[in-house]
Homo-oligomer: A and B are copies of this chain.
Amino acid sequence: MIRLLLADDQALVRGALAALLDLESDLEVVAQVGRGDEVLDAARSSGADVALLDVEMPGLDGIAAAAALHRELPACRALVVTTFGRPGYLRRALDAGASGFVVKDTPAEQLADAVRRVHAGLRAVDPDLAIASLAVGASPLTERERHVLALAAGGGTVAQVAAEAFLSEGTVRNYLSAAIGKTGARTRAEAVRIAQENGWL
């Protein structure tokens, strides 16, 4: 019997996944949480074998939660389940020590298989996404560029971003310009969109 932990901020989806997985005779949902920062404690106290983690969660995102699990509780494997098949997410999830990565587009029948593969010590990765990840590659942005672009993503002006990042306005403009060039965008807003789609923020 494989013991499962579910982490997803949408209660309806969490409950529905629990119902789906409980139908399998060899699977058992032993814990459910709605925040990333509750994953570690819940995994410890429930003795889960596999944790299904959504990427988008309050408190701590699913990738950071996977990293924490891998470090503190390596016996509990992490399987990241996400809405958005952004290539950068896959790479970051694997770097964080996740054993599997599944998009919510995949047929329901394959989820239980992915859980079993992960529990057996194998990897479970969406093949299409793996190819896309290779094609897109790692983020071309430097740390400062990423940071400034993330601040600008909120829609604030250069002056606001400069104040938040403790940089001069000219420097902020320069980083944004570099980010625009590297993403192949023509405006700041387009650069934000492209970076988000690729999971670079």
One of A11-19, A67-75, A165-173 contacting the partner = A11-19
A64 an interface residue at 8 Å Cβ cutoff?
no
CB atoms of A108 and B14 under 8 A apart:
yes
Using CB atoms and an 8 Å cutoff, list the residues of chain A in contact with chain B.
Answer: 9-20, 23, 81, 83, 102-109, 111, 152, 154-157, 185-194
- The reply to whether A154 and B108 contact each other, CB–CB distance below 8 Å, is no
User: Which chain B residues border A9 with CB–CB below 8 Å?
Assistant: 105
| With A83-B10, A189-B189, A192-B189 as contacts: A108 and B16 at CB distance below 8 Å | yes
Asked if residues A155 and B11 are in contact (CB atoms below 8 Å), the reply is: no
Are B189's CB and A11's CB within 8 A? no
CB of B155 within 8 A of CB of A13, answer no
- The 27 listed contacts between A and B (C-beta, < 8 Å) are A10-B83, A10-B104, A10-B105, A11-B104, A11-B105, A11-B106, A11-B107, A11-B108, A12-B17, A12-B102, A12-B106, A12-B108, A13-B13, A15-B108, A15-B109, A16-B108, A18-B108, A19-B19, A19-B108, A154-B190, A154-B193, A155-B185, A155-B191, A156-B187, A157-B187, A188-B189, A189-B189
